[in-house]
């Protein structure tokens, strides 16, 4: 698998340790979490004020997504036909390398030297920026968060808030260097000024780029349109100013009708940023027609598989319902202990813990399905009810079935199951362990370093048992 060679997911443990020790990162994360959680909670709680009910909307959204996935080929063909009828070109990419080839080919055909980009996670799957640069085409990220991480030479750490791991001081240092000015002392009150500064720089790029590259939140089959949900307005610039617009999106992003799109939009911004609607919602259909004030002369859709079709009809099909709102990671205790980079590939958090092994190979991301406390917060907020913990669990089972777990773990579980099947022996062993733990404990009745579970006692003291097991106490009580 092409994607696997760029995945760092096998180094999850080591990267997690680094992220936990990074005080600056921890500060940024602790600041962001309550904002995400609080805003979403408020938006969902306010749904009845607009005459909606969360669970009913969820059911409607699940139905739309399932209907599409049930006949994906039919909807894709319809989309292709309708999009072509509007004058757009529709291309297909099997994987990330094919995305890069197609985009570069389109760029060369139109003499493109600079491409402005609005946020696209699929271009991250393809590592498109690297490929463009290597082909002599300058990619310029125009989403503010993406602009920041492009300056930093990093990848997004969150699917909707790519620079959530950065503090204002770090951003200031990047801006000062890029914009050629001295570093100033900044507080959150300076954010509008810093944004204006970035906007002025980006404006020049908007005007000079020959190509605009975006993702699409949805593709609408009945009209052949791409729907773009943004907050900064950069999406409008990228899709209307350059002469060529390339939309790169996954084949699962399709919805049948505009009505379906409207239904999904009731939950997407609310789940993502807690907005009842995003600042901009763009429906992009075809090319600039005579009499149109703006719009691209050329529109190209690149519809991408990159592992998605394999999930159809599999135990993981429900994952394809995902509408990329980020609510799962926003409510994940593991994500907010680490940020997104620890996950090692494009998608972080619970959805990443499912997608990374599926798209890059289960054997290349062994830790991710286990990097969950099983708390189920992600599934409880997912607007399309993806059973994320169940899917992670299914991946764990597949690791066992394919012999990918360490022998020590398999052996320990087998020994435990065997012992649990011999109640008399089990009682005897538990009694011995109880005495042993008591013997291990210090005078304060606690164990500070537990050899059996060193990872656990790194951060915790174990209060030792009373020295007698429940079954001993119960037997004594019955005798008395």
**Which residues in this chain contact other proteins in the complex, by CB under 8 A?**
13, 16-17, 20, 333-334, 337-338, 369-377, 379-380, 393, 395-400, 405, 409-410, 413-414, 416-417, 419-421, 423, 426, 430, 433-434, 446, 453-463, 465-466, 468-474, 477
Q: What are the structure tokens assigned to 323, written together?
A: 């509408």
Query: In angstroms, rounded to a whole number, what is the distance separating the alpha carbons of residues 162 and 429?
Result: 51
- Are the C-beta atoms of 139 and 17 separated by less than 8 Å? no
| 224 dihedral zone (left: phi>0; alpha: psi -120 to 50; beta) | left
Instruction: Give the residue with the Cβ less far from other proteins, 443 or 458.
Output: 458
**CA dihedral for 212, 213, 218, 223, sign (positive or negative):** positive
- Burial class of residue 209 in the structure, from the number of CB atoms within 10 Å of its CB (0-12 exposed, 13-18 middle, 19+ buried): buried
Least distance in angstroms from the C-beta of 8 to other proteins? 17
Least distance in angstroms from the C-beta of 299 to other proteins? 44
Instruction: Give the residue with the Cβ less far from other proteins, 151 or 365.
Output: 365
- Are the C-beta atoms of 115 and 137 separated by less than 8 Å? yes
Contacts of 191 (CB under 8 A, 6+ apart): 168
Instruction: Give the residue with the Cβ less far from other proteins, 290 or 406.
Output: 406
Instruction: Give the residue with the Cβ less far from other proteins, 207 or 413.
Output: 413
Least distance in angstroms from the C-beta of 184 to other proteins? 33
Query: In angstroms, rounded to a whole number, what is the distance separating the alpha carbons of residues 180 and 64?
Result: 49
Least distance in angstroms from the C-beta of 20 to other proteins? 5
- Are the C-beta atoms of 145 and 177 separated by less than 8 Å? no
Query: In angstroms, rounded to a whole number, what is the distance separating the alpha carbons of residues 468 and 480?
Result: 16
Q: CB atoms < 10 A from the CB of 419, how many? A: 14
Least distance in angstroms from the C-beta of 439 to other proteins? 14
Instruction: Give the residue with the Cβ less far from other proteins, 189 or 458.
Output: 458
Instruction: Give the residue with the Cβ less far from other proteins, 38 or 111.
Output: 38
Least distance in angstroms from the C-beta of 162 to other proteins? 22
- Are the C-beta atoms of 151 and 178 separated by less than 8 Å? yes
Query: What is the full DSSP assignment across 385-397?
Result: ---HHHHHHHHHH
Q: What are the structure tokens assigned to 274, written together?
A: 């807690």
- Are the C-beta atoms of 103 and 89 separated by less than 8 Å? no
- Are the C-beta atoms of 186 and 168 separated by less than 8 Å? yes
- Are the C-beta atoms of 160 and 324 separated by less than 8 Å? yes
Look up tokens 């020590």; give the residue: 408
Query: What is the full DSSP assignment across 75-122?
Result: HHHHHHHHHHHTT-EEEEESSHHHHHHHHHHHHHHTT-SEEEE---HH
Instruction: Give the residue with the Cβ less far from other proteins, 136 or 423.
Output: 423
Which residues sit opposite 345 in a β-bridge? none
Which of 267, 3, 233, 269 has its CA nearest to residue 116? 233
Instruction: Give the residue with the Cβ less far from other proteins, 239 or 434.
Output: 434
Dihedrals phi, psi of 298, to nearest 5 degrees: -140, 130
Least distance in angstroms from the C-beta of 407 to other proteins? 13
Instruction: Give the residue with the Cβ less far from other proteins, 215 or 369.
Output: 369
Q: What is the DSSP letter of 184?
A: -
Which of 391, 371, 366, 389 has its CA nearest to residue 379? 389
Least distance in angstroms from the C-beta of 5 to other proteins? 26
Least distance in angstroms from the C-beta of 460 to other proteins? 3
Greatest Cα-to-Cα distance within the chain, rounded to the nearest angstrom: 97
Least distance in angstroms from the C-beta of 323 to other proteins? 22
Instruction: Give the residue with the Cβ less far from other proteins, 4 or 37.
Output: 37
Least distance in angstroms from the C-beta of 156 to other proteins? 21
Instruction: Give the residue with the Cβ less far from other proteins, 181 or 414.
Output: 414
Least distance in angstroms from the C-beta of 18 to other proteins? 10
Rounded to 10 degrees, the C-alpha dihedral 313/314/317/318 comes to 120
Instruction: Give the residue with the Cβ less far from other proteins, 176 or 375.
Output: 375
């Amino acid at each position: 698998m092409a994607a696997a060679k760029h995945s760092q997911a096998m180094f999850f443990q080591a990267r997690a340790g680094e992220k936990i020790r990074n005080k600056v990162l921890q500060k940024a994360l602790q600041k962001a979490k309550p904002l995400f959680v609080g805003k979403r909670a408020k938006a969902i709680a306010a749904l009845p004020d607009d005459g909606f009910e969360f669970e009913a909307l969820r059911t409607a959204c699940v139905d739309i997504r399932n209907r599409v996935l049930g006949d994906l080929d039919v909807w894709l063909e319809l989309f292709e036909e309708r999009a072509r009828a509007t004058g757009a070109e529709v291309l297909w990419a099997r994987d990330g390398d094919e995305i890069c080839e197609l985009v570069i080919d389109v760029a060369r055909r139109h003499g493109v030297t600079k491409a402005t980009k609005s946020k696209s996670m699929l271009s991250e799957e393809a590592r498109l920026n690297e490929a463009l640069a290597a082909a002599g085409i300058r990619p310029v990220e125009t989403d503010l968060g993406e602009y920041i991480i492009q300056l930093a030479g990093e990848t997004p750490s969150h699917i909707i808030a790519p620079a959530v791991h950065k503090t204002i001081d770090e951003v200031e240092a990047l801006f000062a260097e890029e914009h050629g000015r001295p570093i100033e002392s900044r507080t959150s009150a300076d954010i509008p000024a810093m944004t204006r500064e970035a906007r002025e720089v980006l404006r020049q790029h908007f005007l000079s780029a020959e190509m605009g590259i975006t993702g699409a939140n949805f593709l609408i089959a009945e009209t052949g349109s791409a729907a773009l949900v943004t907050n900064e307005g950069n999406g409008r610039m990228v899709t209307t100013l350059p002469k060529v617009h390339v939309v790169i999106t996954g084949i699962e992003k399709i919805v049948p009708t505009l009505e379906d799109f409207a239904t999904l939009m009731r939950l997407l911004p609310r789940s993502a940023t807690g907005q009842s609607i995003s600042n901009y919602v763009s429906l992009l259909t075809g090319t600039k027609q005579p009499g149109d004030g703006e719009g691209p002369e050329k529109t190209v859709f690149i519809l991408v598989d990159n592992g998605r079709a394999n999930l159809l009809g599999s135990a993981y099909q429900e994952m394809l319902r995902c509408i990329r709102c980020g609510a799962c990671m926003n409510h994940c205790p593991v994500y907010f202990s680490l940020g997104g980079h620890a996950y090692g590939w494009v998608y972080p958090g619970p959805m990443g813990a499912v997608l990374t092994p599926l798209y890059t190979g289960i054997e290349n991301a062994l830790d991710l399905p286990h990097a969950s406390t099983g708390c189920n917060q992600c599934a409880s907020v997912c607007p399309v009810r993806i059973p994320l913990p169940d899917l992670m669990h299914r991946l764990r089972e597949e690791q066992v079935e394919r012999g990918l777990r360490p022998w020590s773990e398999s052996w320990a579980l087998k020994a435990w199951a065997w012992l649990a099947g011999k109640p008399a022996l089990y009682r005897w062993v538990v009694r011995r362990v109880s005495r042993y733990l008591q013997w291990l404990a210090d005078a304060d009745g606690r164990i500070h370093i537990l050899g059996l579970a060193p990872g656990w006692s790194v951060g915790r003291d174990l209060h030792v048992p009373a020295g007698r097991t429940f079954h001993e106490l119960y037997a004594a009580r019955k005798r008395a």
